[in-house]
């Protein structure tokens, strides 16, 4: 068990409290399944609660959506999810992702989050304390030493970076490559060179494995010796059926503090309860198409083992994934100067864009069901059958998980402008129109490799940029391409209200090879509702509801026409779902005119709702400067 000295922890927390809280943009909430405060796991809750001045909300993992009301009231910016490892599986990861998008009307996650757990309550406490120790000792100033490992055809240590990391100029960078064969030479080579894994700030690890180990055996999932066996839970941890690999038992022996680990191996983030898919049949058995959940022993779990090694964060998939998702997580950690919870939110944003800017809709698995098919479901105008990579890649990105404190920011001093491939310039055309010119330059992969693969749609190059819009651009009414320097397969745009900003996410999928040098630009025209000089604007969402300004008193008269309505409720709701005004109204005739004073509403976007007979009529109202 790797843990630093904690004799002064109470003093340290108090002495830096004001600095830490100033890092928080908005509220910090702890979501926990632990309602019993005498449970030993609750100590992890207390430590984070006191350190981040957090509000604690309990929830039931079997009914995640039930906590939406509490979260909507709390309006968290960061959420630490503290739970026992048996409660965390692929279904919970997907339910949390989907739930996180439902605090407002846009399809993106409305808060950044990370998971806290451990094989034992003490392991969970140690994990939290290692993060606090690193932060209070200024991990941001720690040298950017890079370590890692991967399977290969030869045993060797590669002492340099051939990708974008070269622009960050790490003082030390070493990757242990291990030979794939059945004689354990790769495994033994790693164990003889574990010194390269120590004293690193980042670990780049993977990329072909399962919940127990990195695979180093020959034949992979298709032709191993002995052959793949039919699923039998008694065989999974039986030494007689063990294949060659770098396992949880090996990683548990290491001291990896203060590194954050980024793992691309499939299922390497499943801490206890494994949903067995065909990609791990060689080591967990062939389920013949039936959904099987298997509960690992604590020591057999790679995730629980690495969380005990002193690491301060862990990105990994709780299910299958594509290893390039790991590369994107790691790249984003250095591209954006943000806490690691926000880096994980960037991954969730990528899921939304994979769904063409629609809210994610993902398969939830049931024990014993027969299932062959796509784990990515229809959503809005998105149909996974129309895109080559959606059914095989998009669900994997949704499986990505971050273990750690969402406000932890160890890489705030490790950034370079040379990592910025895309940039945008905004030109105002008139009071309701602006143009965005997006430019993109990526060097050839022989110069520096950048993760730019359009995995989900057409399989070539993905250009992506979130653009912060001017504050007067409250709601987009039109988006179109003006010009492009080359061909494109797909253009996606989606709006997000987040952290007091209006963000326009833009993705352009182009047919260029992602390994080639690419110099590309594309311009868009954006039409929007302008709130400057126009206190209230309206969009005619529902023709049955009319709103007329009354210049005599500054109120707004509402007129609606509906049969068989004796009473109704009038509400004004903001984009976060908070009710800003509510009134129950009795109606004696077919039509009614009511005055509504909006002078108390702050600038922003609201839904004016009339609710009757379980039906809702609504208008979108844009309130500008009064």
Query: Which residue is listed with tokens 């739970």?
Result: 83
pLDDT in the model for residue 97:
99
| Same domain (yes/no): 104, 176 | yes
Tokens standing for residue 324: 């390039």
Are 100 and 281 in contact, with CB atoms under 8 Å apart? no
CATH assignment of the domain containing 604: 2.60.40.3080
CATH assignment of the domain containing 510: 2.60.40
| Same domain (yes/no): 484, 569 | no
| Same domain (yes/no): 164, 130 | yes
Q: Is 543 left (phi over 0), alpha (psi -120 to 50) or beta?
A: alpha
- pLDDT category of residue 547 using cuts at 50, 70 and 90: low
Listed residues 530, 545, 579: the one ending a domain: 530
Q: Is the pLDDT of residue 540 over 50?
A: no
> Tell me: the pLDDT tens digits for 295-337?
999 999 999 999 999 999 999 999 999 999 999 999 999 999 9
pLDDT in the model for residue 25:
43
pLDDT in the model for residue 553:
52
| Same domain (yes/no): 395, 487 | no
Instruction: Name residues whose C-beta falls within 8 Å of residue 469's C-beta, 6 or more positions apart in sequence.
Output: 426, 501, 502, 503, 504, 526, 528
User: pLDDT: is 580 or 8 the higher one?
Assistant: 580
| Same domain (yes/no): 291, 310 | yes
Say whether 201 sits in a helix, a strand or coil. Answer: coil
Instruction: Name residues whose C-beta falls within 8 Å of residue 383's C-beta, 6 or more positions apart in sequence.
Output: none
Are 333 and 343 in contact, with CB atoms under 8 Å apart? yes
- Our count of domains for the chain comes to 3
> Tell me: the pLDDT tens digits for 391-442?
989 999 999 999 999 999 999 999 999 999 999 999 999 888 999 999 999 9
For the chain, give the percent of residues with pLDDT over 70.
Answer: 87
Whole-number Å distance between alpha carbons of 285 and 233: 8
Are 291 and 275 in contact, with CB atoms under 8 Å apart? yes
Name the residue among 316, 394, 384, 362 with its Cα closest to residue 97: 362
| Same domain (yes/no): 236, 87 | yes
Q: Is the pLDDT of residue 22 over 70?
A: no
- Sheet strand arrangement including 146-152: 55-58, 27-32, 76-82, 112-116, 400-403, 313-317, 260-263, 202-205, 146-152, 173-179, 156-158
Whole-number Å distance between alpha carbons of 165 and 173: 9
User: pLDDT: is 599 or 117 the higher one?
Assistant: 117
| Same domain (yes/no): 497, 436 | yes
Q: How many CA within 13 A on the CB side of residue 502?
A: 14
Tell me the pairing of strands 292-295 and 173-179. Answer: unpaired
| Same domain (yes/no): 154, 227 | yes
- Which contiguous run of DSSP H or E holds residue 135? helix 121-136
User: pLDDT: is 579 or 121 the higher one?
Assistant: 121
Q: Is the pLDDT of residue 594 over 70?
A: no
CA-only gyration radius of the chain, Å: 26
pLDDT in the model for residue 622:
72
Q: Where are the beta strands (DSSP E) in 334-413?
A: 400-403
> Tell me: the pLDDT tens digits for 146-191?
999 999 999 999 987 779 999 999 999 999 999 999 999 999 999 9
pLDDT in the model for residue 515:
97
For the chain, give the percent of residues with pLDDT over 90.
Answer: 77
| Same domain (yes/no): 242, 200 | yes
- Which contiguous run of DSSP H or E holds residue 81? strand 76-82
Q: Is 194 left (phi over 0), alpha (psi -120 to 50) or beta?
A: alpha
pLDDT in the model for residue 543:
58
| Same domain (yes/no): 451, 574 | no
| Same domain (yes/no): 67, 146 | yes
Listed residues 384, 417, 450: the one ending a domain: 417
Whole-number Å distance between alpha carbons of 227 and 223: 7
Q: Is the pLDDT of residue 596 over 80?
A: no
Q: Is the pLDDT of residue 453 over 70?
A: yes
pLDDT in the model for residue 580:
83
| Same domain (yes/no): 250, 329 | yes
Listed residues 530, 547, 578: the one ending a domain: 530
Domain, as residue range, for 405: 1-417
For residue 528, which phi and psi values (nearest 5 degrees)?
-150, 165
């Amino acid at each position: 068990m790797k843990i630093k000295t904690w004799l002064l922890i109470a003093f340290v927390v108090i002495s830096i409290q004001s600095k830490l809280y100033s890092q928080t943009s908005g509220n910090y909430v702890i979501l926990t399944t632990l309602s019993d405060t005498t449970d030993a796991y609750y100590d992890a809750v207390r430590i984070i609660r006191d350190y981040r001045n957090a509000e604690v909300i309990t929830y039931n993992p079997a009914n995640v959506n039930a906590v939406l009301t509490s979260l909507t009231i709390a309006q968290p910016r960061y959420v630490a999810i503290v739970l026992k490892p048996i409660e965390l599986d692929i279904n919970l990861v997907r339910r949390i992702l989907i739930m996180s998008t439902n605090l407002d009307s846009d399809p993106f996650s409305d808060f950044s989050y990370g998971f806290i757990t451990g094989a034992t309550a003490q392991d969970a406490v140690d994990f939290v304390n290692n993060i606090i120790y690193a932060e209070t000792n200024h991990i941001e100033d720690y040298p950017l030493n890079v370590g890692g490992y991967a399977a290969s055809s030869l045993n060797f240590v590669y002492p340099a970076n051939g990708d974008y990391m070269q622009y960050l100029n790490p003082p030390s960078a070493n990757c242990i490559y291990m030979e794939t064969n059945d004689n354990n030479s790769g495994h033994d080579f790693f164990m003889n060179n574990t010194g390269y894994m120590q004293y690193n700030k980042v670990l780049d690890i993977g990329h072909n494995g399962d919940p127990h180990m990195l695979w180093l055996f020959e034949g992979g999932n298709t032709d191993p010796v002995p052959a793949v066996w039919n699923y039998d839970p008694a065989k999974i941890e039986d030494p007689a059926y063990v294949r060659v690999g770098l396992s949880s038992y090996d990683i548990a022996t290491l001291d990896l503090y203060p590194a954050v680990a980024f793992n691309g191996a499939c299922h390497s983030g499943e801490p206890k309860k494994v949903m067995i898919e065909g990609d791990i049949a060689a080591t967990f058995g062939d389920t013949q198409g039936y959904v099987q959940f298997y509960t690992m022993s604590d020591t057999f779990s790679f995730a629980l083992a690495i969380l005990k090694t002193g690491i301060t964060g862990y990105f990994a998939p709780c299910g299958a994934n594509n290893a390039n998702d790991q590369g994107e997580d790691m790249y984003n950690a250095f591209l954006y100067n943000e806490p690691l919870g926000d880096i994980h939110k960037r991954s969730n944003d990528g899921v939304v864009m994979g769904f063409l800017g629609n809210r994610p809709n993902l398969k939830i698995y049931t024990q014993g069901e027969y299932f062959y098919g796509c784990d990515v479901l229809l959503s809005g105008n998105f149909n996974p059958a129309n895109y080559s990579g959606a059914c095989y890649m998009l669900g994997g990105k949704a499986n990505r998980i971050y273990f750690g404190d969402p406000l932890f920011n160890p890489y705030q001093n490790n950034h370079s402008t040379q990592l910025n491939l895309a940039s945008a310039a905004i030109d105002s055309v008139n009071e309701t129109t602006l143009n965005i010119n997006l430019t993109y330059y990526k060097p050839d992969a022989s110069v520096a490799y950048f993760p730019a693969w359009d995995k989900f749609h057409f399989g070539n190059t993905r250009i992506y940029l979130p653009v912060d819009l001017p504050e007067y651009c409250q709601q987009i009414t039109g988006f179109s391409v003006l010009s492009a320097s080359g061909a494109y397969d797909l253009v996606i745009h989606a709006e997000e209200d987040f952290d007091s900003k209006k963000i326009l996410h833009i993705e352009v999928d182009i047919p260029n090879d992602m390994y080639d040098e690419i110099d590309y630009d594309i311009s868009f025209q954006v039409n929007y509702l302008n709130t400057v000089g126009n206190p209230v604007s309206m969009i005619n969402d529902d023709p049955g509801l009319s709103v007329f300004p009354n210049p005599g008193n500054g109120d707004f008269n509402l007129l609606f026409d509906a049969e068989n309505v004796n009473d109704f409720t009038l509400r004004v709701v903001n984009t976060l779902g908070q009710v800003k005004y509510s009134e129950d109204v009795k109606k004696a005739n077919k039509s009614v005119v009511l005055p509504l004073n909006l002078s108390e509403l702050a600038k922003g976007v609201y839904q004016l709702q009339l609710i009757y007979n379980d039906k809702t009529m609504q208008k979108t109202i844009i309130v500008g400067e009064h």
